[in-house]
Amino acid sequence: MFGVGFQKILILIAIVTAVWYGFRLIGQIAAERKKLQREAGRGRPARRNVQDMVKCRLCGDYVPASGVASCANANCPSR
């Protein structure tokens, strides 16, 4: 009743083979995606310059610590 015939064995081998090649294909796609991401990461622009900010004593706005004497606010009493 539950005999294992030659056709059933061939179908089982075909299914296992298809699953095996499917996993290999997914692995290759993932490896290629990682490779492309690494290559894209090399072409990124250099980091931006970061400036320290200090709070304006008079109006409370934050301005760069060097280079600017007062904030850009027109109502700021330090202008």
One-letter amino acid of 4: V
Segments making up each domain of the chain, as ranges: 1-44, 47-79
pLDDT band at 74 (very low <50, low <70, confident <90, very high): low
What are the tens digits of pLDDT across the range 13-72?
A: 999 999 999 999 999 999 999 998 888 777 666 667 778 888 877 777 777 777 666 666
Q: Could you tell me which residue, 76 or 62, shows the higher pLDDT?
A: 62
Q: What pLDDT shows up at residue 77?
A: 52
Q: Which carries the bigger pLDDT value, residue 18 or residue 2? A: 18
CA-based max dimension of the chain: 97
CA dihedral angle for residue 59, residue 65, residue 68, residue 73, rounded to 10 degrees: -20
